[in-house]
Chain A
């Protein structure tokens, strides 16, 4: 089953995401608390998909996408953020994110985004 890395500074969000992903049969193989941690864990765990928050300490999600994409141009990253502003969605997609799911998210929307990224 596909492996997912969760990057978000808030434990509550990752707990909800994990519940939804477990139920859908995905394996959460790790979680990161900021953009730097996400890069480290990406290198180490090689997840099939990363769920990436934007607002995080140390390094934000957009910069983290940039670094991960340099390391692995095929990285599948889906942004999951409350900041669903049009210009930020465009920026995330330009940097190589496959999708942008706005928080609070519908479980179905998140699962579909992951399934689509895995195709």
Chain B
């Protein structure tokens, strides 16, 4: 796990939250974990492949995720926010990951990702989290915290 893989995700998270949800994030902690299993109940997981491989898992507490989604679609009814809940979270995390891949790939390399997998009970065994060194970045916002667990390595 290389430290230089981390900054693109921090930049991506700050930029995308501001742009699509008008939420200001603050990075409050960075720590090492033994795997990507998140500490919050709602997880959004991506597989990463190509020049860099591994996994990235975003997670929120349920009430935070609900407020983030409502902030992404402020003019929509509560019913509509519920209807789009999972795909809005998927889109948000997809855009952060996409932004990070642009910064990581540079001019020559290609990094691909899987579609987002939304895990509603991410703290239980519903998904194959990677058990390898993971860097966990914690952000806070007015709606609560966001955790991004990143386990990536370069393929050559």
Contacts and interface: CB of A to CB of B under 8 A. Distances in A.
Interface in A62-119: 81-88, 91, 102-104
Interface string A1-35: 00000000111110100000000000000000000
Contacts of A11: 83-84, 87
B115 A87 contact: no
A10 B94 contact: yes
Contacts of B84: 11-12, 15
B58 to A, nearest CB: 14
B47 to A, nearest CB: 10
Q: How large is the interface on A (under 10, 10 to 19, 20 to 34, 35 or more residues)?
A: 20 to 34
Interface stretch (B95-103, B133-141, B143-151): B95-103
Contacts of B101: 83, 85
Contacts of A57: 115
Interface of B: 16, 19-20, 72-73, 83-84, 87-88, 90-91, 94-95, 97-99, 101-102, 105-116
27 contacts: A11-B84, A11-B87, A12-B90, A13-B87, A13-B91, A15-B84, A55-B115, A56-B115, A57-B115, A82-B94, A82-B99, A83-B111, A83-B113, A84-B102, A85-B110, A86-B105, A86-B106, A86-B107, A87-B107, A87-B110, A91-B110, A102-B102, A103-B91, A103-B95, A104-B16, A104-B19, A104-B20
